[in-house]
Chains A and B, each alone.
Chain A
């Protein structure tokens, strides 16, 4: 008896199956777009693929009439700079606090409740306060990303450190290690792969906070462009930008996964087949 749970796709079928949903969505889009174009040749809601391609090549290769920049690249550079600063700051704070909270009972007693409470504050709700405190410049956008994802990183890393078997700590102490040495030589290496995994999981929220901050006040950036052209429903710009953001996020995720496996192969021993 052939059961559905036992039908395993071959490698060719697997690739085909992977492409099929994408193909289906693309077909659906083309059909729906063609229909709207037939009803109204000026329709902006579902622009034809060719029109999006024209817009993208214009944004990527023609200098902007007002600023003289190549829009797509200057937007991407501005957003990536903010994202890198936000993720970098969040990762550093997360690592330091995570190690301290996970390893030092005194630090944990003093800070864990605060981190737990702060992590529950929706960052978007305190945005007006952030603006007044940090201004409307680059700082507030980076701070929004940091506030958005640091509490998650801290809690996740603290838990990772706390879950390190007690025996390792005892052994290190009997060998004469100080707290500082235990932190650097026992806890830190075991936390690093988890930090990268946590960063991967934070990419989505980080992009969300980036786009939100840029939507509110900015002069360049991927989110800025989307919210600017939204004013006149230029979906021929918005849809390619969304695809571009998705691609960037996917690439970062892939890159982080590679770094983790290259840098800490021991942590992925079970994956090897």
Chain B
């Protein structure tokens, strides 16, 4: 039998479609925020973030979480950008990320984010390596492979700036961090910008010359643990536990004796190297081993200047979103009520309160 006019079918189908739509929209309606007991933190492999998996393995995470009656899960993500995207999408309450990525991904995406732990800054862990150029000025006209729009890109911009060149004087080829070492081995690749442990690999190539590294811009590439501001203000115990975990782990890591060596060897093996390799990366990192140092850094005037450079770079590269009229669109708050950019749209906050509690020993 042929079904000509199709009225019956249309009606039934519309009803089915409507039903499906309703049920799916209910599914999409996420549960609203309430006091939480369980928190998830995402981390990726990088020297400054290896204390997190170590703390989880060594029971330090559980110890502090138990003290505040909560559960903290520390999860590894293979891909760095993916970990920040997952955090931005709401799958995690906290993530390990740099100051620049925190500004351009979650904060520019409207997710109010608090930098709870300022762990370290890159002091040689990011660098520019070339086979042909001997100085940064010789980069003019070169093709440079790097992860575009990352801290490597920022480092290059700062290097070019330091010798009076601009980005249009070079050709940038976006190259995945996973392939940067193989890329450098290719004869036609002359210059790469990358970070450790890849930087060490690239530097080990015969004929490579390190041109510029993050020691020339100290304090500008900052490695942090950032958390969702809303989650933090609803659950201050989460912040306290995090600060407690971090500085207890720091004291183990910095221990000059056997205890510290074992911990650093464990962190090294978790990041695919050994004690010597990890110590070498640590040497290129300015780790804030005590909360006092981290608080002083976070409260310093220099941090405001750094973030102004970072937001200027980010705006110039369209990282603050298409709606951004100027670099002020996303507000950045610092300790002591200081705000850079729009005070009505503060989405990134440097918060020294929890590190200060750790410094005062009142966690």
Q: Which residues of B contact A230 (CB under 8 A)?
A: 81, 85
Interface pair B88/A44, CB less than 8 Å apart: yes
Interface size class of B (residues with CB under 8 A): 35 or more
For the complex, give the distance between the alpha carbons of A2 and B49 in Å: 67
Interface pair A135/B322, CB less than 8 Å apart: no
Decide if B186 is an interface residue (CB 8 Å cutoff): yes
For the complex, give the distance between the alpha carbons of A231 and B84 in Å: 9
Interface pair B10/A13, CB less than 8 Å apart: yes
Interface pair B6/A10, CB less than 8 Å apart: yes
Q: Which residues of A contact B186 (CB under 8 A)?
A: 131-132, 135-136
Given A128-B182, A232-B149: A217 touches B319 (CB 8 Å cut-off): no
Decide if B251 is an interface residue (CB 8 Å cutoff): no
Decide if A185 is an interface residue (CB 8 Å cutoff): no
Given A31-B28, A216-B179: A66 touches B111 (CB 8 Å cut-off): no
Interface segment out of the listed A34-42, A73-81, A142-150, A152-160: A34-42
Write the chain A residue with the least CB distance to B172.
A219
Given A7-B3, A66-B168: A127 touches B110 (CB 8 Å cut-off): no
Write the chain B residue with the least CB distance to A137.
B188
Which secondary structure dominates where chain B touches chain A? mixed
Interface pair B173/A219, CB less than 8 Å apart: yes
For the complex, give the distance between the alpha carbons of A44 and B322 in Å: 11
Q: Which residues of B contact A44 (CB under 8 A)?
A: 88, 108-110, 321
> Which of the listed residues A35, A40, A232 has the most CB atoms from chain B within 10 Å of its own CB?
A232
Decide if A65 is an interface residue (CB 8 Å cutoff): yes
For the complex, give the distance between the alpha carbons of A40 and B32 in Å: 13
Among B148-197, those with CB < 8 Å from A are 148-150, 167-168, 171-176, 178-179, 182-183, 185-189
Interface pair B149/A42, CB less than 8 Å apart: no
For the complex, give the distance between the alpha carbons of A166 and B183 in Å: 51
Q: Which residues of A contact B29 (CB under 8 A)?
A: 35
Interface size class of A (residues with CB under 8 A): 35 or more
For the complex, give the distance between the alpha carbons of A127 and B316 in Å: 33
Decide if B204 is an interface residue (CB 8 Å cutoff): no
Interface pair A7/B25, CB less than 8 Å apart: no
24 A-B residue contacts at CB 8 Å? A2-B1, A7-B1, A10-B3, A10-B4, A16-B6, A17-B9, A28-B24, A31-B24, A35-B25, A35-B29, A42-B109, A44-B109, A44-B321, A65-B318, A132-B182, A137-B188, A215-B176, A216-B175, A228-B148, A231-B81, A231-B148, A233-B88, A233-B89, A234-B321
Q: Given A13-B10, A44-B110, list of 8 further CB < 8 A pairs?
A: A9-B6, A27-B17, A43-B109, A131-B183, A217-B179, A232-B109, A233-B85, A233-B88
B-side interface residues toward A, CB under 8 Å?
Answer: 1-6, 9-10, 13, 17, 20-21, 24-25, 28-30, 81, 85, 88-89, 104-105, 108-111, 145, 148-150, 167-168, 171-176, 178-179, 182-183, 185-189, 316-319, 321-322, 347
A-side interface residues toward B, CB under 8 Å?
Answer: 2, 6-10, 12-13, 16-17, 20, 23-24, 27-28, 31-32, 35, 39-45, 54-55, 58, 65-66, 127-128, 131-132, 135-137, 215-219, 224, 227-228, 230-234, 236
